[in-house]
Amino acid sequence: MKHYLLIVVLCFLNLAHTQNCTYTLLGEIKDFHDGTPMSGATIYNETSNTYTSADINGKFTIENLCNGKLVLIISHVGCETKRVEVDIDGDTYQEINMEHHLEELKEITVTTDSKIEKTSIQQTVSKKQIETFSDKSLGDALNTISGVSSLNTGNTIVKPMIHGLHSSRLLIINNNVRLFDQEWGYEHAPNIDINASGRIDVIKGANSLMYGSDAIGGLILIRPENYAVKDSLFGSTSLALNTNGWGGNINSEIVKTNKNGFYTKIQGSYKTFGDFESQNYYLSNTGIKSINASARIGFKSFEKGFDAYYSFVDNTFGILRASHIGNVGDLVRAINSGEPQYISDFSNTINNPKQSIFHHLGKIEAYKRFKEFGKLTLQYDFQINRRKEFDLRRGDKANVPVVDLRLFTTSLQPNLRIDAYENLKINTGFLLRYQQNDAISGTGTTPLIPDYDKYDFGFYAIGAYNLNLLTEISAGFRYDFSRIEASKRYRVTDWDETYNYDELFPEFNTGVIEDSRYFTNPEFSFHNISANLGYARHMRNDFEFIFNYGLASRMPNPSELFSEGLHHSAARIEIGQLTMEKEIANKFMASLERKHQNFGFTISPYYKYISNFIQLIPIGTTTTVRGAFPVWEYNQTNAQIFGVDIDLYKTISNNFNYTGSLSLLRGDNLSEDIPLINMPATNFSNSITYNNEKLNQLSIGLTQKTVLQQNRFPDYNFFTFDPVLQQEVYVDISSTPETYTLFNFNSSARFKVFKTKTLKVAFNVENLFNVSYREHLNRLRYFADELGRNFNIQLKINY
């Protein structure tokens, strides 16, 4: 027994000798980005329940440590608290990196002051504003921004315009994916459900190089919400009901976030409307049905993460029945008539003519941060767009579309953001993209645009430098290479005689003739260079001055190169030209801003000179088996667009606020010394709002908007022979409608329900005084008035 006691005592003495608690930890706390020391950081020793702090060099010392695991909690002002486990094995050195840029980990409250870059000229539609347009389109929501208007086909197909430019001249970025959905068409609206977005930024200046070289008009950036890293489950359901069209929208979403960084979101919406109504009559066959769904899953930590996203849009738009005309004679009668040639009772059914569009979008994005260097992001995405356009047809072709296009797009985009330098930030990356268009056979018509394959490669570098606390400059460069390979049939007479392509492009002709048509393989390559310079200066009294210069290049889109066919609902034949060259734009824009709680304003003048500007204009008529139709042809000219956007706000009292805006624009065809076609008219708006936070966050507002008559337009009117009247008739397609003023009323309040939930109730009236008017940028203005009065009720519950 004594021997056993002796052994135990010796083991204990040996353990005490080996457990030498005299070791020291030398720690050093640095900024993750640039390695600068972080003085004043607090270090809590969880093992011994003691505190220490870092000195001016970011260093700290903890003494009298034993070998083993040491747990430290590091905190610093402006940083996320960090838990660190250190393995002590004798005297130990440990470097600890902290992150200052917590906005990427926490939920962001979006305001109009939040910019992509300090030198960008930008306006934002917040999540709160998006909610008021839950049953409307992207174009409707953006129409509230000065300098932004829309090109409409009826009241449901709305294409955004920035400073008079639209379609391929605007970049629409949805969840960091550039949207491709046959956007070249004047009557093709973006297939986006705005309910799935967290904010929408409109970039009017030149800061768009990261997304493409061809943003001659500007950039529309649709961003998702950024969620806090915490354990939470929340969601919302909203319902909008309207009297005009007797329909509405329901949207629901649910979000799960986790403290470990994982998050998921599921969202869906359904919209349905019947025939809309003007002041005096129903607009027959103008209903809409839309089904949208999206899903998002990801992981977010400071050093690494990923985001996977998928969305599906299924839109069906009715086209005003009265806009389907057989020939120019019908068009003349429609223009000279005060109301549509076809009016029926209200119906929820969508008949031909109509559009049916499916759009799938998917992406996966991953990022990794590197200490004292930057952030590397890699994104892969794809899109599938299927567009069908149905006309009034008889017999076995009644339900066969006259246009059936399937567009597949896929791209790979790495991006490197270098932020290791205190005053300098650099973004660089490249793009690989493949696109395939398939003009589905069996429509019984000549495809409006042909089959083609398109290949894109680009790279860019953008830098932003803080000269001092008040001044920042930015500069960027981008190069893009694009190649398009098409397969198209041309009538022999057109190829050899009308367009003289036999001499201009003999290499495209395969020599194969089928049904009096050549089979050709047009192939084009384009090299585009773009650049930008930006300057921002913060001044006293809340003033800020911003200047942008941008050089942008845009290759002709497939419609401008290859169009050949009849757009039935528009009763016109559209012709593209293989001789189209790329557009080159020089853009200058400045902005003087004052941002103050009581009074602020923004004045933004701009000037754009565009060489080889591509426009679609009428050139005469042609006779087909169905009658005489106007012929619209793409051509090129030198153009300039200039104007000014003005916004202001004033806090009248604690409860009353005023906002106003004014947009002036002028577009000139310099080659022919005439105005440009389809330029927005001068417009201005005023709004006064009453807010009472204490009374259920009550808000009551009245908005007035006036659009002046556009008196500057090119005269493309013409005479044509009417076989019914057996005489020449004058076709006035250029004259514009008169000035109009609309008033809208809006109100909302929030109520607590089910103890912890909130219910938002909104009541709005659009076109309050039921004004009868027509908008000259609506392609169907020849046939009917715009919408009359609409009562709207919105309910939203957060849970």
Most confident of 4-8, 58-62, 630-634, 763-767: 763-767
* pLDDT of residue 139 exceeding 80: yes
* Per-residue pLDDT band at 604 (split at 50, 70, 90): very high
* Phi (first) and psi of residue 129, to 5 degrees: -70, -35
Question: Do 236 and 358 belong to one domain?
Answer: yes
- Of 40, 65, 100, at which residue does a domain stop? 100
CATH number at residue 85: 2.60.40.10
Tell me how far the alpha carbon of residue 778 is from its chain's centroid: 21
Q: What tens digit of pLDDT does each residue of 269-288 get?
A: 999 999 999 999 999 999 99
Asked whether 214 and 555 are in contact (CB, 8 A), the reply is yes
What pLDDT score was predicted for residue 289?
Answer: 97
Residue 111 lies in a domain: no
Asked whether 645 and 685 are in contact (CB, 8 A), the reply is no
Question: Do 10 and 128 belong to one domain?
Answer: no
Q: Which of 784, 788, 789 is nearest to 319 (CA)?
A: 784
Residue 116 lies in a domain: no
What pLDDT score was predicted for residue 727?
Answer: 80
What pLDDT score was predicted for residue 30?
Answer: 86
Average pLDDT over residues 167-193: 92
Average pLDDT over residues 725-748: 91
Question: Do 214 and 347 belong to one domain?
Answer: yes
Q: What tens digit of pLDDT does each residue of 688-722 get?
A: 999 999 999 999 999 999 999 999 999 998 887 77
Question: Do 445 and 394 belong to one domain?
Answer: yes
In whole angstroms, what is the distance from residue 407 CA to residue 437 CA? 4
What pLDDT score was predicted for residue 775?
Answer: 95
What pLDDT score was predicted for residue 14?
Answer: 46
Beta strand 288-300 with 304-318 is antiparallel
CATH number at residue 205: 2.40.170.20
Question: Do 192 and 135 belong to one domain?
Answer: yes
Residue 115 lies in a domain: no
Residue 118 lies in a domain: no
- 15 burial (CB, 10 Å; 0-12 / 13-18 / 19+) is exposed
* pLDDT of residue 192 exceeding 60: yes
Residues in CB range of 569: below 8 A, 6 or more apart: 153, 187, 319, 323, 324, 353, 389, 391
Question: Do 445 and 516 belong to one domain?
Answer: yes
What pLDDT score was predicted for residue 109?
Answer: 39
Q: How many CB atoms lie within 10 A of CB 111?
A: 9
In whole angstroms, what is the distance from residue 319 CA to residue 288 CA? 9
Residue 107 lies in a domain: no
In whole angstroms, what is the distance from residue 42 CA to residue 600 CA? 41
Asked whether 641 and 666 are in contact (CB, 8 A), the reply is yes
**691-712 CB burial, b ≥16 within 10 A, e <16:** eeeeebeebbbbbebebeebee
Residues in CB range of 9: below 8 A, 6 or more apart: none
| Strand partners of residue 222 | 174, 200
- Of 34, 67, 100, at which residue does a domain stop? 100
Q: In which domain, by residue range, is 172 found?
A: 123-798
* Per-residue pLDDT band at 569 (split at 50, 70, 90): low
Residues in CB range of 521: below 8 A, 6 or more apart: 485, 486, 487, 488, 508, 510
Average pLDDT over residues 715-735: 82
What pLDDT score was predicted for residue 441?
Answer: 87
Residues of the chain above pLDDT 70, percent = 93
The whole-model pTM stands at 0.88
Q: Is the bond preceding residue 506 a cis peptide, omega within 30 degrees?
A: no
- The DSSP letter of residue 650 is E
Q: What tens digit of pLDDT does each residue of 444-494 get?
A: 888 889 999 999 999 999 999 999 989 999 999 999 999 999 999 999 999
Question: Do 271 and 313 belong to one domain?
Answer: yes
Residue 279 lies in a domain: yes
In whole angstroms, what is the distance from residue 778 CA to residue 759 CA? 37
* Per-residue pLDDT band at 155 (split at 50, 70, 90): confident
Question: Do 84 and 138 belong to one domain?
Answer: no
Residue 113 lies in a domain: no
Per-residue tokens: 381: 């995405």
What pLDDT score was predicted for residue 725?
Answer: 73
What pLDDT score was predicted for residue 9?
Answer: 46
Question: Do 210 and 172 belong to one domain?
Answer: yes
Average pLDDT over residues 76-92: 83
Torsion angle defined by CA atoms of residues 241, 243, 247 and 249, in that order, rounded to the nearest 10 degrees = -30
Helix (H, G, I), strand (E, B) or coil at 19: coil
What pLDDT score was predicted for residue 624?
Answer: 66
Beta strand 523-538 with 471-491 is antiparallel
Residues in the chain: 799
Question: Do 622 and 719 belong to one domain?
Answer: yes
Tell me how far the alpha carbon of residue 649 is from its chain's centroid: 25
* Phi (first) and psi of residue 385, to 5 degrees: -120, 125
What pLDDT score was predicted for residue 354?
Answer: 92
Residue 117 lies in a domain: no
* pLDDT of residue 771 exceeding 80: yes
Question: Do 25 and 170 belong to one domain?
Answer: no
**Domain count of the fold of the chain:** 2
Question: Do 341 and 392 belong to one domain?
Answer: yes
